[in-house]
Chains A and B, each alone.
Chain A
Amino acid sequence: MEVNQYLEMFIEESKEHLQACSEHLLELEKNPDDLAIVGEIFRSAHTLKGMSATMGYEDLADLTHKMENVLDAIRNEKIHVSPEILDVVFESVDHLEEMVMDIANGGDGKRDVSSTVAQLKRIESGEEAVTEVVATTIDTPSVASVLEYDSFEQTVITQSAEQGFNAFEISVRLREDCLLKAARVFMVFEILEKDGDVIKSSPTVEKLEDEQFDQQFYVAFVTKESAEDMQKKLMKVSEVDEVIVANINQDKFSEKEYEAHKEVAATATLEEVATPAHTPVPAKSATPVKAEKSHAPVGNKTIRVNIERLDILMNLFEELVIDRGRLQSIATEVNHGELNETVERMSRVMGDLQTIILTMRMVPVETVFNRFPKMIRQLSRDLNKKINLDIIGAETELDRTVIDEIGDPLVHLIRNSVDHGIENPTARRAKGKPEEGTVVLRAYHSGNYVFIEIEDDGAGINRDKVLAKAISKGIVTQEQSFSMSDKQINELILASGFSTADVISDVSGRGVGLDVVKTTIESLGGNISIESTQDVGSIFSIQLPLTLSIISVMLVEIEKEIYAIPLSSIIETSIIRSSDIMNAHNQKVIDFRGKVVPLVFLEEIFEVPRKELQDDEFHSVVIVRKGEKLAGLVVDSFIGQQEIVLKSLGNYLTNIFAISGATILGNGKVALIVDCNALIK
């Protein structure tokens, strides 16, 4: 079967449907009476089942089918939504997700789900024994009907009947002494496929091809030929003993199942049939769902593009950026009017192009955020806390490279907020807060950055406890602690080896988490800060660059060497007199706008060889910052601002002090990028 070309699409769409399932399930949990939501879930589950059956992932289709039965029963008000039922359905969705992940990783999507299946069955039959007959087993009394049809197949059969096709169930028996069973099967199928479509066979085609059957097999088949003709044609195959062609009794398919499938088949009229007549839903609750759904597909013409292609496009563009730099420097040297004009024009067009390419690689943070509602639900159950998660600005976009990295740190931070931040309901009541704690996950753009904030209305950070702990762990000394601001103390919890929960739980780990979060975010060129008021709550704020591949830098010169300082860490540049430099202990400092700023002589740090010692009266200084702290980098001269492409130094040179990477300049030479974070302690 040629399924590979569809596999990617299948995986993508399955993920989308599962995501829709979880989202609606969470909604359903809040409004258990809203049957319109059940309808939504049912539709997603149903499409998923159809797709996975087509792709041959039987386990996936089977579990979805079982889940669907339960949903159907809920939809028909045979079962009432209860947390226990939702738990099982959630569990099934988890299993389905695992299966899809497995398929995505090249597996076969098989997984032992027997306990979940058993639970689903129990729910389905326990509350309402009738439902089982409706969907799972359609034991038609008709003689020939050996095959069972799931709802997808039923739809196909019913629809083909409407279009004037005959649906047959054909039983073929081969002779006892038949030697090449697979070959005969092949011949039978060849005849069948010439005249119509095979919908199903028992055993499956794979098993038939492997000769894993006795003498007889069954095929469900739709055709325009008559039963008699088909029988005669099939009997022509040698070594076939008997062929029985019988009509498939479509009346046995439940009317309801069919209804449901009609909806899926006719997606265009989806909204109208969304809530079938036999599930009375108050119109009020149904409308918001519809409104939300309907504006998504309109005016949103998109195509799926392989990420690899976008990466290639980006790489090619990076090459162009380097050449642009080169052209610019040549143009300045030559100083030819027309050349300058052309280069300028090209630069402008490339600027636009860069914006477009970068936005093309942008992904809404939603892709990361959407796994959190389920996580919070699970956590609040595990910890016996009541927590409400608000997500704001999920549509905020970030570069894919950043998105890929940001997931784990966010998981850590949210777990931390839930575990250490939000108090248990009793404690909250005692403090006069509502029992239900709130965690707000907020994302927004500001300048060239994206901010992600995790805010909770929990206990906040206990300043004294943190300080005592930090001192006992040797992270800070008693003396240091006196001069620390509240913010600095808060940020101590990001230091390694720190865990303030009295009982170490498996939720937020053993105090290794937050330290990893800090490192990851800093390695992305970002920043994390904490604001907290005791008993009111905390805000963890993460600042991230929009992209990681092309950055703006200030080029500076030291002797003959050129270094690049990321613009994101520069506050300003200034020229200072030698006489303005003061000494504090062994550290040279300057007074910068009323603040004492230490000076870092890059030529010393980078051991730049100098032919002769120079003693300038003036020094060029770049003021950089890391969080709240400032430092002045002393260089020989400023060259200017430029967009550059980040390149790694390769695998041979790793961990070079205060160098975060390299770039290629317009003249083809390599310039190193200064890592300001390493220069400020």
Chain B
Amino acid sequence: MTNAVEQESIKVIVFQLADKEYAIPVSHVQGIEKLMHITRVPKTAKYVKGVINLRGVVTPIVDLRERFELPISEHEETTRIIIISLEDMEVGFVVDSANDVLDIPSNSIEPQPEVVGSLEEEFISGVAKIDKRLLILLHLEKVLNPLK
């Protein structure tokens, strides 16, 4: 993941989830979609909302609020689906909003403080502090892992 070029900074997509800001490296993001009709798939984990038709490709959708066991909120106008591609999987994440692309200097990334102490802790690969904003970097493999 961190090769010579990214040593200096990594480009991330920033999204909001229950008033916190999270970040995913741009290289894993296929696109950001507005909320569309989700077809429920029975007998799957609770956080799997179902599948959508993403321009002809059937793509599974994971609600990150439920994945992190955060309080569930109604979907709003700002709600977005971030399409992630990891290895040979394509998955969409439902987030509260997503509207920022940032360059994070590598040296501002720190291991996550123990204080966070919630379930989402294990999904975090680090935190970055930029201009008083605290960005939580997600560990994508772990977010997707348990279903494999």
Measured CB to CB, the residues of A under 8 A from B are 319, 322, 561, 605-608, 647-653, 656-659, 662, 664, 668-672
Cβ–Cβ contact B58 & A650, under 8 A: yes
Shortest Cβ gap from B58 to chain A (Å): 5
Q: Check B19 for interface membership: any CB of A closer than 8 A.
A: no
**Contact-size category for B:** 20 to 34
Q: Give the docked Cα–Cα distance between A652 and B87 (Å).
A: 11
Contacts of B87 in A (CB 8 A): 651
Q: Which 6 A-B pairs have the closest CB atoms?
A: A606-B42, A670-B39, A662-B58, A652-B89, A651-B89, A657-B43
Given the complex, which residues of B lie within 8 Å of A658, measured CB to CB?
42-43
Given contact pairs A605-B42, A653-B48, A647 touches B144 in the complex (Cβ within 8 A): no
- 24 A-B pairs with CB atoms under 8 Å apart are A319-B56, A606-B43, A607-B43, A647-B57, A647-B58, A648-B58, A649-B58, A649-B60, A650-B89, A650-B90, A651-B89, A652-B60, A652-B91, A652-B144, A656-B43, A657-B42, A659-B41, A659-B42, A664-B56, A669-B39, A670-B39, A670-B53, A672-B41, A672-B42
Residues of A within 8 A of B41 (CB): 649, 653, 656, 659, 672
From 32 to 71 in chain B, residues with beta carbon under 8 angstroms from any chain A beta carbon are 37, 39-44, 48, 50-53, 56-60
Whether, in the assembled complex, B88 has its beta carbon less than 8 Å from a beta carbon of chain A, the answer is: yes
CB-based contact B39/A561 at 8 Å: yes
Chain B residue contacts of A647, Cβ below 8 A: 57-58
Closest to A663 in B: B58
Segment 62-93 of B: residues with Cβ below 8 Å from A: 87-91
Interface contact B88-A664, CB-CB below 8 Å = no
Alpha-carbon distance between A668 and B56 when the two chains are bound, in angstroms: 9
Contacts A649-B58, A653-B147, A664-B53 hold; do A672 and B39 have CB atoms under 8 A apart? yes
Q: Specify which chain A residues have a CB less than 8 angstroms from the CB of B50 in the assembled complex.
A: 670
> Complex formed: what's the CA distance from A319 to B53 in Å?
12
Given A657-B43, A659-B42, A672-B41, A651 and B53 touching (CB < 8 A)? no
CA–CA, A648 to B39, complex, Å? 14
Which residues from chain B contact A668 at a C-beta distance below 8 Å? 37, 53
Cα–Cα distance between A506 and B57 once the two chains are bound (Å)? 44
B residues near A671, Cβ cutoff 8 Å: 39
Cα–Cα distance between A575 and B45 once the two chains are bound (Å): 34
Q: Is the interface of B mostly helix, strand, loop or mixed?
A: strand
- List residues of chain A with CB within 8 A of the CB of B90: 650, 652
Instruction: A672 to B58: give the CA distance in the assembly, Å.
Output: 10
Q: Which residue of A lies closest to B87 (CB)?
A: A651
Counting chain B CB atoms within 10 Å of each CB, the highest count among A319, A605, A659, A664 belongs to: A664
* Assembly CA distance A393 to B59 (angstroms): 42
Chain B residue numbers with a CB within 8 Å of A649 are 41, 51, 58, 60
Q: Contacts A605-B42, A662-B51, A670-B51 hold; do A651 and B88 have CB atoms under 8 A apart?
A: yes
Number of A-B contacts (CB under 8 A): 71
A664 x B58 contact (CB < 8 A): yes
**Chain A residues, Cβ within 8 Å of B52:** 670
- Pick the residue among A607, A650, A664, A669 that contacts B60 (CB under 8 A): A650
Q: Chain A residues near B40: list those with CB within 8 A.
A: 561
**Complex CA distance for A322 and B58, rounded to whole angstroms:** 13
- CB-nearest residue of chain A relative to B88? A651
Given contacts A651-B88, A664-B58, contact A669 B53 (CB under 8 A): yes
Q: Give the CA-CA distance A605 to B43 in the complex, in Å.
A: 8
**Residues in B neighbouring A319, C-beta threshold 8 A:** 56
Name, among A608, A652, A659, A668, the residue most crowded by chain B CB atoms within 10 Å (CB to CB).
A652
CB distance from B70 to the nearest CB of A (A): 21
Q: Which chain B residue lies CB-closest to A608?
A: B42
Whole-angstrom distance between the alpha carbons of A516 and B60 in the complex? 30
A669 touches B37 (CB 8 A): yes
Q: Roughly how many angstroms separate A648 CA and B59 CA in the complex, as a whole number?
A: 9
Residues on A with C-beta less than 8 A from B88 are 651
Q: List 7 extra interface pairs beyond A651-B87, A656-B44, A670-B52, CB under 8 A.
A: A649-B41, A651-B89, A652-B91, A653-B44, A669-B53, A670-B58, A671-B39
Q: How far is the CA of A652 from the CA of B83 in the complex (A)?
A: 13
When distances are taken between beta carbons in the complex, the residues of chain A under 8 Å from B39 are 561, 662, 669-672
Name, among A662, A668, A670, the residue most crowded by chain B CB atoms within 10 Å (CB to CB). A670
User: What's the minimum C-beta distance from B85 to chain A, rounded to whole angstroms?
Assistant: 11
Question: Shortest distance in angstroms between A637's beta carbon and chain B's nearest beta carbon?
Answer: 18
How far, in angstroms, from A658 to B44 measured CA to CA in the complex? 12
In the complex the two chains form, what is the Cα distance from A605 to B40 in whole Å? Answer: 13
B66 CB, nearest partner CB in chain A, Å: 15
| Complex: A639 Cα to B50 Cα, angstroms | 22
CB of A601 to closest CB in B, whole Å: 13
Q: Which residues of B contact A652 (CB under 8 A)?
A: 60, 89-91, 144, 147
Q: How far is the CA of A322 from the CA of B44 in the complex (A)?
A: 26
Q: Which residue of chain A is the closest to B51 with respect to CB atoms?
A: A670
Question: Hey, what's the 0/1 contact readout for B18-39 against A, CB within 8 Å counting as 1?
Answer: 0000000000000000000101
A476 to chain B, nearest CB (A): 28
Cα separation A397 to B88 with both chains bound (whole Å) = 33
Q: Smallest distance from the beta carbon of B139 to chain A beta carbons, Å?
A: 16
List the B residue with the shortest CB-CB distance to A671: B39
Interchain CB contact under 8 A, A650 and B59:
yes
Q: Known contacts A659-B41, A669-B37; is A653 also within 8 Å of B60 by CB? A: yes
Most buried by B among A319, A658, A662: A662
How far apart are the CA atoms of A653 and B40 in the complex, in Å? 12
With a CB–CB cut-off of 8 A, which chain A residues contact B59? 650
Instruction: Give the shortest distance, in Å, between B55 (CB) and chain A (any CB).
Output: 10
CB distance from A669 to the nearest CB of B (A): 5
Shortest Cβ gap from B31 to chain A (Å) = 16
Complex CA–CA separation, A457 to B47 (angstroms): 57
Report chain A residues within 8 Å CB of B51. Answer: 649, 653, 662, 670, 672
The smallest C-beta distance from A583 to any residue of chain B, in angstroms, reads 25
Partner of B42, one of A607, A650, A651: A607
The residue on A at minimum CB distance from B39 is: A670
Residues of the B chain whose Cβ atoms lie less than 8 Å from the Cβ of A607: 42-43
CA distance A91 to B108 in the complex (A): 68
CA distance A653 to B42 in the complex (A): 11
Query: Which residues of chain A are near B56, meaning CB under 8 Å?
Result: 319, 322, 664
CA distance A672 to B60 in the complex (A): 12
Q: How far is the CB of A320 from chain B (nearest CB, A)?
A: 11
The residue in B44, B87, B147 that gathers the most chain A C-beta atoms within 10 A of its C-beta is B44
Complex Cα–Cα for A659 and B44 (A): 11
Q: How far is the CB of B36 from chain A (nearest CB, A)?
A: 8
Bound-state CA distance A60–B142 (Å) is 52
